[in-house]
C-alpha cells in the first residue's frame, strides 16, 4: 500500500508541475497574435489552473497518507516542503487565478488585452513565484535537510 501511495504522490506532483508550467507564456504569446487567437485561451487556461489546484491538493493528501502509513515523524525538509506546498496553492488561488480572471473577463467582453497589460504581467509574476515555490519544496523534500 505504501508503494502505491508513493506512486500516486509522485504522479500527482508531476501532473501538478506540468499543469500551469507554460500558461503565462501561452497567454502572452497568444495575446500578441491578436484576434481571433485569444478567443481560444479560456479553453486552455481555465482548465490548467483548475488542474493545478486539484493536483496540488492531491499531492498534499497523498503525501500525508504516505507519512501516515510510514508511521514516522517527518524530517525538517519534509515539513518545509509541506509548508511551501501550501503556500504555492495559495499563490495560485489568490494570485494566478485572479490575474487570469481579469484577462478572461476583458476578453469575454470583446476587449483587446495587450501582452504588456498589467494583468498579463501579474499572471507571469504569480506563475514564476508558484513554480519557484514548487522547485524549492521539491528540493527540500528530496535532499536530506
60-79 confidence digits (pLDDT tens) = 999 999 999 988 788 999 99
Dist CA 26 CA 20 (whole Å): 10
Picking from 55, 76, 94, 87, the residue whose alpha carbon sits closest to that of residue 141 is 76
CA 33 – CA 54 distance, rounded (Å)? 30
In this structure, are residues 119 and 104 in contact, taking their beta carbons and an 8 Å threshold?
A: no
CA gap 105, 117 in Å, rounded? 14
How confident is the model at residue 144, as a pLDDT?
79
Dihedral pair phi/psi, residue 8, rounded to 5°:
-65, -35
Contact present, 138 and 96 (Cβ < 8 Å): no
Give the pLDDT band of residue 104 (cuts 50, 70, 90).
Answer: very high
CB 80 within 8 A of CB 145: yes
pTM above 0.85, yes or no: yes
pLDDT at 71: 83
Cell 504522479: give the residue.
11
Amino acid at each position: 500500500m505504501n508503494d502505491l501511495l508513493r506512486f500516486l504522490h509522485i504522479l500527482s506532483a508531476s501532473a501538478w508541475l506540468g499543469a500551469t508550467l507554460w500558461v503565462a507564456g501561452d497567454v502572452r504569446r497568444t495575446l500578441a497574435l491578436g484576434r481571433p487567437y485569444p478567443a481560444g485561451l479560456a479553453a486552455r487556461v481555465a482548465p490548467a489552473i483548475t488542474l493545478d489546484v486539484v493536483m496540488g491538493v492531491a499531492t498534499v493528501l497523498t503525501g500525508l497518507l504516505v507519512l501516515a502509513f510510514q508511521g514516522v515523524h517527518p524530517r525538517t525538509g519534509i515539513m518545509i516542503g509541506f509548508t511551501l506546498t501550501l503556500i504555492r496553492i495559495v499563490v495560485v488561488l489568490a494570485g494566478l487565478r485572479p490575474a487570469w480572471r481579469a484577462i478572461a473577463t476583458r476578453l469575454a467582453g470583446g476587449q483587446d488585452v495587450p501582452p504588456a497589460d498589467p494583468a498579463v504581467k501579474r499572471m507571469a509574476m504569480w506563475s514564476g513565484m508558484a513554480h519557484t515555490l514548487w522547485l524549492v519544496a521539491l528540493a527540500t523534500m528530496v535532499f536530506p535537510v
